[in-house]
Amino acid sequence: MPVISVHLEPPYLLFMGDVGDDGHGKTGQGIAYWRPELCAGQMRLPACEVDLGLPELGVEEAVGSGVRTAIIGIASTGGVLLDAWLPALTGLARAGIDIAAGTHCKLADTPELVAAAKDGNARLIDVRVPPKDIPVGTGNKRPGKRVITVGTDCAVGKKFSALALHRELDKRRINVDFRATGQTGIMIAGEGIPIDAVVADFVSGAAELLSPGNDADHWDIIEGQGAILHPSYAGVTLGLLHGSQPDALVLCQEAGRTHLKSMERDFEIPPLDELAETLLRLARVSNPDCIWAGISVNTATLGAAHRDAYLADLESRYGIPAVDPVATGMQKIADYLLEQLR
C-alpha cells in the first residue's frame, strides 16, 4: 500500500519549544500518552506552558540518557518551524541526535539544521511528506468496514478517539487497523498519509489508498482531520470524509468549548444536531448507508458527577452512545458498532 513508513529510533526526546497551550502541544502529548515506553524526556524553552510530566533534559543530559531521536512535539499554526527553536534543535543534531518533525516547513530545507545534522551525522526526518503519484478519488464501493472520527473543531480528540477505539476492538480480537492521517498519528503508528499535505484534488484519492478494499470482517479506524464547518480546515475534512467511504462516524468534541479555537474572529460552534446532519449528509455521498456510531467527549473540564450527567444527556438526545475515551473508555461505542454493522 502506498503510504509513508516512518522509523524513529527510540528513546525519544520530546521538544516542546515555547508552546503555550495543550492544543498546539498535541503532538508531544499524543506520543507521550500512546508511546510512553519510548520517551526518555522533554525539552522546553522558558516560555513553554505545556508539561508532559517527563524528565527535563538538556543536550548533554539527552546524550547521557541515550536519546536517539528528538521529536518536535508542537503542532504549530500553519506547520511553521520557528527560528526560536533552532538553537536547541541544532545543538541536538550536532550532538548526533536525529530530529523528526511533522511541520509543513521542512527540516531538510533549513540550512542551519542541515549543517548541524551533517556535523553530528544525524538524520533529519520530515514526516509530513505524502507519497508520490496519489490518484484522484473514484468513489467506487470497496469491501471492508470503515469508521472515521470527525470533530466539532480542531484538537478535540479525533486522533485520540480513533486510537482508543482501535485499541478496544483489538482487545476483542477484531481484525482492525488504525489508519493515521496526521503527523502525530503517523509517528505513533509508524505509517500513514499526512492528508493535509496532499494537493487538494487528490485528498479523497489518498483516503482511498489509506483504507483500501479488504476482507468483509476487517475494520479500518481512520483518524479524522480538521472540522467540516471550520473556515480554515473544512477542505481536508471533506476530502477525507468522501475518500474514506465510512460505514460509521464518531463525533468528537470538548465539553464546554463553544467557539472555534485559534481564530482571530469569533466563530461559534453550531449545535450538535445541525453539525451531525451536515456530516452525515456529506458522508453519504460516497456511502449512502453510513450511520452515527457515537459521540466521544473530552470531559476533562467536568467533575465525575457532571461528566456522567453530561454523557447521559447526550445519549438521551441523540440515541447513540456517548463516552469519554479516557474516563469511561470506548466499550459502548465498540458494542454499538459491532451490533449495528454485523
Fold of 145-340: Rossmann fold (3.40.50)
Q: What is residue 78's predicted lDDT score, i.e. its pLDDT?
A: 72
Q: ∠ at Cα 215 (200, 211), nearest 5°?
A: 15
Q: Which of 189, 204, 341, 216 is nearest to 283 (CA)?
A: 204
Report if pTM > 0.85. Answer: yes
- Let me know if 7 is exposed, middle or buried by CB neighbors in 10 A (0-12, 13-18, 19+): exposed
| pLDDT tens per residue, range 82-137 | 889 999 999 999 999 999 998 888 999 999 999 999 999 999 999 999 999 999 99
Q: Which of 127, 78, 68, 73 is nearest to 98 (CA)?
A: 68
Q: Is the pLDDT of residue 321 over 70?
A: yes
Q: Is the pLDDT of residue 42 over 80?
A: yes
Mean pLDDT (the chain) is: 94
State how far the alpha carbon of 262 is from the alpha carbons of 24, 109, 237, 324, in Å. 9, 27, 18, 24
What one-letter code names the amino acid at 204? S
| Neighbour-count burial for 182-207, b at 16+ CB within 10 Å, e otherwise | bbbbbbbbebbbbbbbbeeebbbbbb
In the block, cell 485559534 appears at 262
Q: Is the pLDDT of residue 309 over 80?
A: yes
Domains 4-126 and 145-340 in one fold: yes
Q: What is residue 1's predicted lDDT score, i.e. its pLDDT?
A: 52
Q: What is residue 123's predicted lDDT score, i.e. its pLDDT?
A: 96
Q: What is residue 224's predicted lDDT score, i.e. its pLDDT?
A: 97
**Structural domain boundaries in the chain:** 4-126, 145-340
Q: Is the pLDDT of residue 77 over 80?
A: no
Task: Assign 180 a pLDDT band (cuts: 50, 70, 90).
Answer: very high
Q: Is the pLDDT of residue 26 over 90?
A: no
Task: Assign 80 a pLDDT band (cuts: 50, 70, 90).
Answer: confident
Of residues 47 and 262, which shows the higher confidence score? 47
Across the chain, the runs of DSSP E, i.e. the strands, are 4-5, 12-17, 39-44, 69-72, 98-101, 124-126, 145-151, 176-179, 191-192, 219-222, 248-254, 291-298, 322-323
Cell digits for 97? 541526535
Contact by Cβ (8 Å): 215, 144: yes
CATH code linked to domain 4-126: 3.40.50.720
Task: Assign 305 a pLDDT band (cuts: 50, 70, 90).
Answer: confident
